C-alpha cells in the first residue's frame, strides 16, 4: 500500500493499493477490451455521446460537442433562446465501487455474447488484496 499525501496514517482510505499484474494478465485484459469494444461498436450499444474508452474519440471531441451545443442554445433569436446547463460528476472511487454483478447483467442486456461475458466474469472473479501482514481481502 502506498500512503496518500496529507492523509492520516491510521485510516484505510489513506492508502492506495499497488497492483501488480502479470504480463500474461495484461495481454489477456487487452484482448478482452478489444473484443468487448468490437461487440459494442458492432451492435451500436454505445451512445454517440460517449467519448471515453472509444477508439477515435477523445475528451477534446467531447468538449467540442458541448461548446457547439451551448452556442446553438444561446445563439438562437431572442424568442427561441435556451439556457444551457452542464453537469459534471466525479464519482469517488468509481471503479472500485462498481458492482461486477450489475455490470455483467448490463452486458447481457445489451447483447454481449455469452462467451465474452463468461470470459469477463472469470477474469474479474475472485480477486483478492493481499495486505502483506497475513490479511487478505476479496
pLDDT, tens digit, for every residue of 111-134? 999 999 999 999 887 777 666 666
d(CA 62, CA 46): 15
Q: Is the pLDDT of residue 63 over 70?
A: yes
At 93, list the grid cell: 472511487
Lowest-confidence pick of 47-51, 61-65, 112-116, 125-129: 125-129
Q: What is the pLDDT of residue 36?
A: 93
d(CA 117, CA 109): 11
Q: What is the pLDDT of residue 31?
A: 94
In this prediction, residue 44 has a pLDDT band, given cuts at 50, 70 and 90, of confident
Amino acid at each position: 500500500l502506498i500512503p496518500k499525501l496529507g492523509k492520516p496514517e491510521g485510516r484505510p482510505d489513506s492508502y492506495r493499493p499497488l497492483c501488480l499484474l502479470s504480463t500474461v494478465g495484461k495481454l489477456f485484459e487487452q484482448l478482452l477490451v478489444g473484443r468487448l469494444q468490437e461487440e459494442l461498436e458492432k451492435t451500436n450499444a454505445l451512445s454517440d455521446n460517449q467519448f471515453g474508452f472509444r477508439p477515435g474519440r477523445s475528451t477534446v471531441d467531447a468538449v467540442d460537442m458541448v461548446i457547439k451545443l451551448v452556442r446553438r442554445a444561446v445563439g438562437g433569436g431572442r424568442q427561441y433562446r435556451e439556457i444551457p446547463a452542464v453537469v459534471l460528476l466525479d464519482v469517488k472511487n468509481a471503479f472500485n465501487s462498481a458492482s461486477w454483478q450489475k455490470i455483467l447483467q448490463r452486458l447481457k442486456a445489451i447483447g454481449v455474447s455469452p462467451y465474452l461475458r463468461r470470459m469477463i466474469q472469470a477474469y474479474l472473479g475472485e480477486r483478492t488484496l493481499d495486505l502483506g501482514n497475513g490479511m487478505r481481502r476479496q
